[in-house]
């Protein structure tokens, strides 16, 4: 009997210690509650998970105050991170590979988009002359910003169609109404862009679509499969120094992806700021439907997608031809795995 009591007492003590440790873990505070985050073109559906996390209060639920800086293009967001003016970025996955090649350890922690959602289209009055990316030589091509994922995608399409990546003139047109105006005013011949900009131009009859990576079929046609788009990334030393902060950021984005997966287009349109609709809520809802397939299903970047992105960079840039890139160091899945386990 005494042995039984001792055993029970020991078991209860262990259980108490386990609960105490679990409570301590749950009570862990984020190392950095006030964060600065950069994004390049926040109104774009490419970054919808960020807007949803903000507007639904998911950052606040995780005990974080996130200051969002919209810098107009993904390349500018990366520059802000490297310059130390922001802590984290929602931007293109390819930046993690690009910076590793330059000796900088930048890592993604959650995938937001599994397909780029980028559309290549030509101004309607030039549709008879420009029938494929093979006809982009000498043309003015509108992108969110040179060096961004919209620029990379159109350059890749050009190279795949026998041109050099530099054969077209890339012009930064921003991420919203300015991009629509650039096409309507004839400032550009071709556009490589995202919804709702593309949806607006399509609806108004201003463009003819040539390549559409909003869907799995469209992404496969250009890239051969999935091609990771927006992710949350940061410097490796920041991630290592602020694990609880990064976990809570990831939790917020996983909540956002889960909400988007279940929400209707009308619910999504109601959450974003009205100015994101570009003056037409119904059109915005249509754009949401067109882009919904592009969002990550589980927040995990697949190895095939990583390899697809590296292959694109090797095709486009001589510096990558013989680069020794460790793809496992471009994405840390542990934060997403913990968020999913909740």
**DSSP code per residue over 314-327:** HHH-GGGTT----G
Yes or no: say if 251 and 28 are a contact pair by the CB < 8 Å rule. no
Cα 156 to Cα 114, 160, 195, 273: the distances in Å are 18, 6, 20, 33
pLDDT tens per residue across all 342 residues of the chain: 545 444 544 444 444 444 444 444 455 899 999 999 999 889 989 999 999 999 999 999 999 999 999 997 788 899 999 999 999 999 999 999 999 999 999 999 999 999 989 999 999 999 999 999 999 999 999 998 888 889 989 999 999 999 999 999 999 998 888 999 999 999 999 999 999 999 999 999 999 999 999 888 888 889 888 889 999 999 999 999 999 999 999 999 999 999 999 999 999 999 999 999 988 999 999 999 988 989 999 999 999 999 999 988 988 888 888 888 999 999 999 999 999 987
CA distance 325 to 341: 30
CA distance 330 to 100: 8
Write out the two tokens for 108: 């993604």
Q: What angle do CA 304, 227, 310 make, to 5 degrees?
A: 65
Q: For the segment 286-333, what is each residue's pLDDT rounded down to a tens digit?
A: 999 988 989 999 999 999 999 999 988 988 888 888 888 999 999 999
Cα 110 to Cα 91, 213, 311: the distances in Å are 11, 20, 21
Write out the two tokens for 320: 């990558």
List, in sequence order, every beta strand (DSSP E) within the chain. Answer: 34-39, 65-70, 88-92, 106-111, 119-123, 140-143, 169-172, 190-193, 207-212, 230-235
> What's the pLDDT score for residue 25?
43
> What's the pLDDT score for residue 27?
55
CA distance 51 to 41: 11
CA distance 56 to 277: 18
Yes or no: say if 222 and 311 are a contact pair by the CB < 8 Å rule. no
CA distance 53 to 272: 10
Which residues, 6+ apart, have CB-to-CB distance to 43 below 8 Å? 51, 175, 176, 196, 272, 273, 275, 276
Count of Cβ atoms closer than 10 Å to residue 313 Cβ: 19
φ, ψ dihedrals at 169, nearest 5°: -100, 110
Residue 34: exposure state from Cβ atoms within 10 A (0-12, 13-18, ≥19):
exposed
What is the sign, positive or negative, of the torsion defined by CA atoms of 122, 155, 198, 218? positive
Yes or no: say if 312 and 159 are a contact pair by the CB < 8 Å rule. no
Write out the two tokens for 34: 């006030």
Q: Which domains does the chain have, with CATH numbers?
A: 34-116+227-341 (3.40.190.10), 119-223 (3.40.190.10)
Count of Cβ atoms closer than 10 Å to residue 163 Cβ: 17
Closest CA to 39 of 87, 107, 96: 87
Q: For the segment 123-161, what is each residue's pLDDT rounded down to a tens digit?
A: 999 999 999 999 999 999 999 888 888 998 999 999 999
């Amino acid at each position: 009997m005494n042995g039984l009591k001792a055993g029970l007492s020991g078991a209860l003590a262990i259980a108490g210690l386990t609960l105490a440790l679990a409570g301590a873990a749950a009570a862990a505070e984020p190392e950095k509650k006030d964060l600065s985050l950069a994004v390049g073109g926040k109104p774009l559906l490419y970054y919808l998970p960020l807007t949803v996390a903000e507007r639904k209060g998911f950052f606040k639920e995780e005990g974080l105050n996130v200051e969002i800086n919209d810098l107009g293009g993904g390349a500018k967001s990366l520059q802000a991170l490297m310059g130390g003016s922001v802590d984290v970025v929602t931007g293109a996955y390819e930046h993690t590979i690009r910076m590793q090649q330059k000796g900088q350890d930048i890592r993604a922690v959650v995938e937001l988009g599994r397909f780029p959602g980028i559309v290549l289209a030509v101004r309607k009055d030039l549709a008879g002359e420009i029938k494929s990316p093979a006809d982009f030589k000498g043309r003015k091509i509108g992108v969110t910003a040179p060096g961004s994922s919209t620029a990379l995608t159109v350059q890749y399409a050009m190279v795949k169609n026998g041109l050099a990546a530099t054969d077209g003139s890339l012009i930064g047109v921003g991420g919203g109404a300015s991009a629509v105006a650039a096409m309507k005013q004839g400032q550009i011949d071709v556009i490589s862009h995202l919804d709702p900009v593309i949806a607006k131009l399509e609806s108004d009859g201003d463009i003819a679509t040539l390549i559409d990576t909003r869907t799995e079929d469209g992404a496969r046609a250009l890239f051969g499969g999935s091609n990771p788009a927006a992710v949350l990334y940061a410097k490796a030393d920041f991630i290592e120094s602020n694990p609880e902060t990064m976990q809570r950021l990831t939790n917020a984005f996983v909540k956002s992806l889960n909400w988007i997966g279940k929400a209707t287009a009308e619910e999504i349109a109601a959450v974003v700021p009205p100015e994101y609709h570009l003056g037409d809520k119904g059109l915005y809802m249509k754009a949401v439907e067109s882009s919904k397939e592009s969002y990550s299903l589980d927040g995990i970047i697949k190895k095939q997608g990583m390899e697809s992105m590296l292959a694109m960079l090797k095709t486009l840039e001589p510096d990558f031809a013989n680069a020794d890139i460790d793809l496992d160091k471009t994405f840390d899945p542990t934060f997403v795995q913990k968020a999913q386990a909740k």
